[in-house]
């Protein structure tokens, strides 16, 4: 479990690493701990998988990956593991999740995000995934508009705020 | 903005590995064969241009004790702005996309507990009048990759 210091470290780190010569020293000062302790804590978080990745979050549209499509697949229950692993192995697949469908009209249980430089690249990838996996019941959902995209601010709720107000 | 070779090498490097050492920019400069000042100036510019959205950790929300889900709703086109405003007003909604489907609005939601997650969904239903929400919590993660390799650095894998 995370203690209070851990949570404070999360709060400070999620604001971003400052562009100064000794950024961890600056952050450690804000936390009232030593630079050494902060570095050790970050290594700890990485080792435990609390931090999944430590680095730059980039705007992939600006890097030429302008096309993306969410593809939802209806995979027979007993083949989920195999098909999930197969799709995850593709470079074009950035995210691959098993999700439990909540309505009978929506049978899709495997969710992939596919990125490409053009829509054609996406179509080609989806076709290849379908052929290789043998899963033919799928839908492609292209994004029409980004309505919100932000990084989560963890542990940022005021402590005495009632749940329904945030 | 056009990225030169150094920008691309820098981006490839720090997407995967930002040094956790007292002087990380000095470390990056050493790897790239340039100066710390140059690295800081490049990063400053890449951030101002919005190419780098954030520099720091990406947390595993479940390991921080959070619950999350992906939801989809059917919104009549004339109500899209209004409904998006309600949904986006929750800090736990981090992504929301309009997609070309009858389920046209797709958003991700994080909350500190399963109960809070449910409470937010109920409040969204109440305030938007939408009753039919596809609630699709992840059961298993096969892959999350958030880095995007740039092509002309031959030292990294290509996006094939």
Range of the domain at B87: 61-136
Q: What is the pLDDT of residues B121-151, one digit of tens each?
A: 999 999 999 988 999 999 999 998 766 777 6
Is residue B28 domain-shared with residue B69, that is, in the same domain?
no
Number of domain units in chain B: 2
Asked if B70 and B41 sit in the same domain, the reply is no
Measured CA to CA, the distance from residue A31 to residue B21 in angstroms comes to 17
B132 and B76 in a single domain? The answer is yes
User: What angle separates helix B24-32 from helix A23-31, to the nearest 10 degrees?
Assistant: 160
Structural domains of chain A ordered from first start: 4-48 (1.10.10.2890), 67-142 (3.30.70.3460)
Q: Are A50 and B64 in contact (CB under 8 A)?
A: yes
**B41 or A119, higher pLDDT:** B41
The count of CB pairs under 8 A between chains A and B is 243
pLDDT band with cut points at 50, 70 and 90 for residue B17: confident
Residues 6+ apart with CB under 8 A from B138: A97, A98, A99, B68, B69, B70
Give the distance from residue A22's alpha carbon to the nearest chain B alpha carbon, in angstroms: 5
* Contact flag A139-B101 (C-beta cutoff 8 Å): yes
B145 belongs to a structural domain? no
Nearest chain B residue to A125, by CA: B160
Put simply, the answer to whether A157 touches B148 (Cβ < 8 Å) is no
Rounded mean pLDDT of chain A?
90
Answer whether residue B18 is part of any domain.
Answer: yes
pLDDT of residue B154: 41
The ipTM (two decimal places) reads 0.86
The reply to whether residue B60 touches residue A52, judged by beta carbons under 8 angstroms, is: yes
Determine the distance in angstroms separating the CA of B64 from the nearest CA of chain A, rounded to an integer: 7
| Beta-carbon separation of B52 and A57 below 8 A | yes
Reported as type and span, the H/E element at residue A149 is strand A138-149
Q: For residue B15, what is the domain's CATH number?
A: 1.10.10
């Amino acid at each position: 479990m995370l203690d209070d210091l851990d949570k404070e470290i999360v709060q400070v780190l999620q604001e971003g690493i400052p562009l100064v010569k000794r950024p961890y020293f600056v952050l450690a000062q804000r936390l009232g701990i030593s630079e050494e302790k902060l570095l050790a804590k970050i290594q700890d978080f990485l080792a435990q998988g609390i931090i999944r990745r430590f680095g730059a979050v980039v705007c992939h549209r600006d890097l030429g990956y302008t096309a993306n499509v969410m593809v939802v697949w209806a995979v027979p229950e007993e083949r989920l593991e195999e098909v999930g692993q197969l799709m995850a192995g593709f470079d074009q697949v950035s995210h691959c999740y098993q999700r439990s469908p909540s309505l009978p009209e929506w049978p899709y249980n495997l969710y992939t995000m596919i990125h490409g430089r053009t829509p054609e690249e996406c179509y080609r990838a989806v076709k290849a995934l379908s052929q290789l996996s043998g899963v033919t019941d799928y839908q492609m959902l292209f994004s029409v508009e980004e309505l919100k995209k932000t990084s989560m601010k963890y542990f940022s709720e005021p402590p005495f705020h009632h749940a329904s107000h945030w | 903005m056009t990225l030169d070779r150094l920008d691309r090498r820098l981006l490839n490097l720090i997407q995967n590995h930002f040094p956790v050492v007292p002087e990380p920019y000095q470390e990056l400069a050493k790897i790239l064969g340039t100066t710390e000042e140059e690295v800081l100036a490049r990063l400053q510019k890449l951030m101002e241009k919005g190419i780098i959205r954030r520099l720091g950790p990406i947390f595993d929300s479940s390991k921080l004790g959070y619950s999350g889900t992906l939801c989809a709703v059917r919104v009549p086109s004339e109500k899209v702005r209004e409904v998006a405003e309600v949904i986006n007003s929750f800090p736990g909604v981090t992504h929301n996309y309009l997609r070309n489907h009858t389920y046209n609005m797709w958003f991700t939601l994080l909350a500190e507990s399963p109960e809070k997650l449910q409470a937010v969904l109920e409040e969204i239903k109440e305030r938007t009048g939408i009753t039919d929400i596809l609630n699709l919590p992840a059961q298993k993660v096969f892959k999350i990759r958030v880095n995007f390799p740039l092509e002309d650095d031959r030292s990294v894998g290509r996006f094939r």
